[in-house]
A and B are shown apart, each in its own frame.
Chain A
Amino acid sequence: MAFNVISKTVMKSLFSKPATAMYPVIKNEFYPNTRGSIEMAHIDNCTFCGICSKRCPADAIAVDRAEKRWEIDRIRCIACSFCVQLCPKNCLSAERQYTAPMTDKSHKLFTIYGQVVSQEDASQEDVSQEDA
């Protein structure tokens, strides 16, 4: 039995750099494999077959073939990248960055690709961008 075995480690860490990074100043580096937010990388290749939507374990993806629209619910998505692996045309990708946090349940909750944006929505988007 010994007293204060940890003292050596504690003394060492007193005089060494912190093990943590100063987060907002030093950005976290993600790896190429990191499963971040799921994005539609090549909407032109998408055939709107709906495999991603049918196989999604969290039912986060909705595909409308008639309107050629692909949308993902950011709150439901569990970032398992099952859809990325299944996509027959390889148009989905898991980005390195995680989905940005939201302060309200705005239209940002859904990321919609391929939809013809109506005048009203477009003007709203402009306003929100200006605010940001």
Chain B
Amino acid sequence: MGERTIIPFGPQHPVLPEPLHLDLILEDEKVVGAVPSIGFVHRGLEKLVEKRDFNEMIYVIERICGICSFIHSQGYAQTIEGLMGVEIPARVKYLRTIWGELSRIHSHLLWLGLMADAYGFESLFMHCWRVREKILDIFEETTGGRVIFSVCKVGGLWKDIDNETLKRIVTVLKDVEKETKKMADVFTRDYTVQKRTRGVGVITYQEAIDLGAVGPTLRGSGVVQDMRTLGYAAYGDLVFEPIVEKDGDCYARTIVRVREISQSFDLIYQAINKIPDGEIDVKVKGNPNGEFLTRLEQPRGQVVYYAKGNGTKYLDRFRVRTPTFANIPPLLKMLPGADLADVPVLALSIDPCISCTER
């Protein structure tokens, strides 16, 4: 048995832009334990609901995270709409689905790039991000922002996408899909990628459930759980199956995300084919009063929103439980037994978003 040493990993680390801090307990090169600490980017956004009225708050909520910003605003809008009993038009539901799925594609491409970077595959990283840029262009063209869209509001949307643009988006996406397939091929078939990811950080079916994993981390261990099957927004009208892999290692989690990208393309095509014409917003009268809880599927997993209104324009309480927070216990389970060199790959395999977690 070697001597124990403690190596701090993060909050500033070359491999991970997120301020995740782990105290790694090592015996020689093997990790035997890890102590996480978070709280480096806490901004107190939840507390702001007491000072910003519920319509303004959506701009704060979507700034929780730069990558899943749209789904945050969608989730907030959905929570407040549920709380106030507002029925939103069908076109809004479809447009939110389209933007949500585009967000998923861009988030997964970003993650695949970061993952490639974590095991030193620089050219794959660059190519993933080159492909992702086309999705960001679609965002800028349709919403006005590349990262923060500011397009959702309580009761609908500020901007519509006309049917001509939707058709053009499909042609752009077909190109992107072709490019993405080439990248996906590298992740699924390449020897070096498999050497770094196969059999690393295995989480079994039971462990994934017990530790409360969500999203691709959970589905990579063979558990069928996808919040989109609840049928929020337009998902009820679209045909899809949650993507599941059995192995539970980093490779399985990568494959889940690779396959989810092609699923998202398919969902967007379906939504664009079915999208009805109509209004893009309804008038919201009164103030929220009561409690409401919503669950949505973010690229990283299940996200929970809870809101409590008191009849004034300020909410009493707003709570977000983000997927990374749920995925930290599985990460701690993966680390013991791993090599120090595998820690970046393991930490990235849960797709950590610490800004989301700390809000």
Among B52, B123, B133, B150, point to the contact of A81 (Cβ < 8 A).
Answer: B150
Given A2-B189, A5-B185, A57 contacting B57 (CB threshold 8 A): yes
A85 contacts the other chain (Cβ, under 8 Å)?
yes
Residue in B closest to A81 when the chains form the complex, CB atoms: B150
Given A19-B130, A78-B59, A3 contacting B191 (CB threshold 8 A): yes
Looking at chain A's contact residues, the main secondary structure is loop
Contact B144 A81 (CB under 8 A): yes
Given A19-B130, A81-B150, A6 contacting B191 (CB threshold 8 A): no
Contact B189 A5 (CB under 8 A): yes
| Residues on A with beta carbons closer than 8 Å to the beta carbon of B186 | 5-6, 9
Contact B127 A2 (CB under 8 A): no
B63 contacts the other chain (Cβ, under 8 Å)?
yes
B60 contacts the other chain (Cβ, under 8 Å)?
yes
Among B60, B150, B182, point to the contact of A9 (Cβ < 8 A).
Answer: B182
B263 contacts the other chain (Cβ, under 8 Å)?
no
| Residues on A with beta carbons closer than 8 Å to the beta carbon of B127 | 6, 9, 13
| Residues on B with beta carbons closer than 8 Å to the beta carbon of A57 | 52, 56-57, 59-60
Residue in A closest to B60 when the chains form the complex, CB atoms: A57
Among A4, A19, A79, point to the contact of B190 (Cβ < 8 A).
Answer: A4
Least CB distance from A90 to B in Å reads: 14
A123 contacts the other chain (Cβ, under 8 Å)?
no
Residue in B closest to A18 when the chains form the complex, CB atoms: B130
Given A9-B182, A33-B159, A57-B60, A19 contacting B191 (CB threshold 8 A): no
> Could you mark each residue 61-100 of chain B with 1 if its beta carbon is under 8 Å from any beta carbon of chain A, else 0?
0010000000000000000000000000000000000000
- Among B135-143, B167-175, B285-293, B347-355, the stretch that binds chain A is B135-143
Given A31-B140, A57-B57, A80 contacting B185 (CB threshold 8 A): no
Least CB distance from A64 to B in Å reads: 21
Among B59, B133, B183, B185, point to the contact of A82 (Cβ < 8 A).
Answer: B59
